[in-house]
């Protein structure tokens, strides 16, 4: 599980399950702080390299999205894989991401 920022695109990679959740919390907070201090109003979250996800990974992603919104930064999920879409629907997260999902890849 990793998060890599390039400009205003966050690239999420690897295994977004309970085993990797704790690794990236600090960097995710730092990215939000940087975007806020730079006056960014939006960013894309590229999910194309997520290999696996579970409820823990989706919860972390949802918290990050909501924290960004509270700071006035609008996140958009892009390149959501079929597997991630299945997990979002299967675990009942579709209502949490419905306003952040873009079908067009970045």
Distance CA 76, CA 99 (A): 8
Render pLDDT for 69-89 as a digit per residue (tens, 0 to 9): 999 999 999 999 888 889 999
Where do the structural domains in the chain lie, given as residue ranges? 2-97
β 42-53/74-78 pair status: parallel
Both tokens of 45, joined, read: 């979250």
Render pLDDT for 16-51 as a digit per residue (tens, 0 to 9): 888 877 777 888 888 999 988 899 899 999 999 998
Q: Give yes or no for a contact between 14 and 1, defined as CB atoms under 8 angstroms apart.
A: yes
pTM of the full structure: 0.85
Q: Give yes or no for a contact between 24 and 1, defined as CB atoms under 8 angstroms apart.
A: yes
The residue behind tokens 């600090």 is 26
Backbone angles phi, psi at 104, to 5 degrees: -75, 130
Distance CA 4, CA 70 (A): 21
- Kindly report the CATH number that applies to the domain delimited by 2-97: 3.30.750.24
């Amino acid at each position: 599980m990793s998060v890599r920022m390039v400009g205003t695109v966050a690239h999420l990679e690897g295994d977004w399950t309970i085993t990797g959740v704790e690794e990236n919390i600090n960097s995710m907070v730092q990215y939000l702080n940087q975007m806020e201090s730079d006056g960014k109003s939006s960013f894309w979250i590229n999910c194309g390299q997520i290999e696996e996800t579970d409820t823990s990974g989706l919860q972390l992603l949802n918290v990050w999205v909501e924290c960004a919104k509270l700071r006035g930064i609008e996140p958009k999920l892009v390149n959501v894989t079929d597997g991630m879409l299945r997990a979002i629907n299967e675990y009942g997260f579709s209502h949490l991401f419905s306003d952040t999902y873009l079908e067009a890849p970045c």
